[in-house]
Amino acid sequence: MASQPRHPPPPAAGGVSQPPTPSIPRVPVEHTTFDENHLPSVLHDPDPMTPEAERQARRRTCRFIEEAGQRSLRLPRVAVATATVFFHRFYAKHAFQEHDRFEVAMACLLLAGKTEESPKKLDLVLRECWKLRRRAQEQQQRKLSQGGESPSMAGSSPSALTSPPVGENKQIDPKSEEYARLKERVLLLERVILHTIGFELSIDHPYKFLVDCVQNLNSKKLLEAPTSFGNASGRGAQNTQMVQSLAQNAMNFANDSMHTSLCLQFTAKEIALACVYLSGKYAGINPAGGKSWLDLLEGITVEDLVSISVQILELVQPRKGMDSENSFRAIRKDLDEMSMGCAPDSKRQKI
């Protein structure tokens, strides 16, 4: 049965039309595999995005979620990660062209805070996220005024274009029509997100799995500390330094993985194992007894380890600079050797 057409609200004062209030759609049929060439934003008609533009929109908005969640709202790391997974799952079923990605991010943060028992008041979420977005708009306009190129704003609603001039208001007026419309849209988007993810609120993250993996490898004495840890006084101190370095780097890679669509492609445990591998190679930690990392990491295939690692490296390598170039080059070489003879699989697991 054909869906009813959506009618935009009447123009506001001044003749500027406002973005339509989102409605709760029927969730599309579940896909069995992940393929970025068939994501809604890429297939959207009449203005499809390229897969690269879709990836960039995800990454930019994930940075927004991380900044707003950790620094502005002071949510626990796990709540920010849950908000990010909600965001990825939402845009696996909806197009960036249909919903303002920053408003979706606000709704994801609001819902994740409740899910992870760290609820934040709606007014606080709206105010802090609005300030952060306004600050980003100021930076964008400064770049434009200096002759720079504007970053892609795919997924932004017309409200981003009809906001007051930069610098005019540093705080959104809670009594304004703009605030009332934003509040209404975010509350409704929270419901749309719940319908989209099928009310599945229990999210597994890589953090627990990677800590368990590091502790297991250490307890079985399956790792050898590199010579760079030789300054630690005594074998016990050297081993402690190695374990801390392995766990911390793996945590950092896991945080970076949240900015990609990996949570749509692989299980949290598989991502965790790949992060431990990347951490070990990055820190120069080797398996003991001449074994390989694949011998130590049970529960992940060569193809999946390579795919996860490559996607994380594509994100982090440009940011790390020349100091880490040799480490990344060695990791790439190791991945190439592992993948020799393994046909790449372009279609992934269930969304």
Segment 212-239 shows an average pLDDT of 81
Split at pLDDT 50, 70, 90, the class of 346 is very low
Task: Measure the CA–CA gap between 207 and 96, rounded to whole angstroms.
Answer: 29
Segment 153-158 shows an average pLDDT of 41
Segment 132-140 shows an average pLDDT of 87
Q: Which of 17-31, 42-56, 319-333 ranks highest by mean pLDDT? A: 42-56
Contact by Cβ (8 Å): 285, 223: yes
Task: Identify the pLDDT of residue 127.
Answer: 96
Task: Measure the CA–CA gap between 300 and 307, rounded to whole angstroms.
Answer: 11
The answer to whether the predicted template modeling score (pTM) of the entire model surpasses 0.75 is yes
Distance of CA 6 to the CA centre of its chain: 31
Q: What percent of the chain has pLDDT over 90?
A: 63
Q: Which of 157, 45, 55, 56 is nearest to 100 (CA)?
A: 157
Task: Identify the pLDDT of residue 67.
Answer: 96
Q: Inform me whether the pLDDT recorded for 159 exceeds 90.
A: no
pLDDT in tens, 66-124: 999 999 999 999 999 999 999 999 999 999 999 999 999 999 999 999 999 999 999 99
Contact by Cβ (8 Å): 61, 105: yes
Q: Which residues contact 165 (CB under 8 A, 6 or more apart)?
A: none
Split at pLDDT 50, 70, 90, the class of 154 is very low
Q: Inform me whether the pLDDT recorded for 151 exceeds 70.
A: no
Between 163 and 291, residue with greater pLDDT: 291
Distance of CA 167 to the CA centre of its chain: 29
Place of tokens 């299980």: 267
Split at pLDDT 50, 70, 90, the class of 12 is very low
Split at pLDDT 50, 70, 90, the class of 342 is low
Task: Identify the pLDDT of residue 290.
Answer: 85
Task: Identify the pLDDT of residue 110.
Answer: 98
Task: Identify the pLDDT of residue 13.
Answer: 44
pLDDT in tens, 173-200: 999 999 999 999 999 999 999 999 999 9
Split at pLDDT 50, 70, 90, the class of 11 is very low
Segment 267-276 shows an average pLDDT of 97
Task: Measure the CA–CA gap between 242 and 240, rounded to whole angstroms.
Answer: 5
Q: In the chain, what is the straight-line distance between the N-terminal and C-terminal CA atoms, in Å?
A: 26
What does the DSSP 8-state code read for residue 10? P
Average per-residue pLDDT for the chain: 83
Q: Inform me whether the pLDDT recorded for 232 exceeds 60.
A: no
Segment 11-28 shows an average pLDDT of 47
234: left (phi over 0), alpha (psi -120 to 50) or beta: left
Q: What is the DSSP string of 286-336?
A: EEGGG--HHHH-TT--HHHHHHHHHHHHHHHHHHH-GGGHHHHHHHHHHHH
Task: Measure the CA–CA gap between 26 and 198, rounded to whole angstroms.
Answer: 11
Q: What percent of the chain has pLDDT over 70?
A: 78
Task: Measure the CA–CA gap between 33 and 264, rounded to whole angstroms.
Answer: 9
Task: Identify the pLDDT of residue 236.
Answer: 75
User: What per-residue string of b and e applies to 247-280 under the rule 16 or more CB within 10 Å gives b?
Assistant: bebbbebbbbbbbbbbbbbbbbbbbbbbbbbbbb
Task: Identify the pLDDT of residue 317.
Answer: 85
Q: Inform me whether the pLDDT recorded for 282 exceeds 80.
A: yes
Task: Identify the pLDDT of residue 238.
Answer: 83
**For residue 224, what are the β-bridge partners?**
286
Task: Identify the pLDDT of residue 226.
Answer: 78
Kindly state the tokens that stand for 4: 């009813």
Task: Identify the pLDDT of residue 28.
Answer: 43
Q: Is the peptide bond before 165 cis (omega within 30 degrees of 0)?
A: no
Task: Identify the pLDDT of residue 147.
Answer: 67
The CA-CA-CA angle for residues 253, 133, 20, to 5°, reads 115
Split at pLDDT 50, 70, 90, the class of 129 is very high
Task: Identify the pLDDT of residue 289.
Answer: 87
Contact by Cβ (8 Å): 186, 122: yes
Q: Inform me whether the pLDDT recorded for 50 exceeds 50.
A: yes
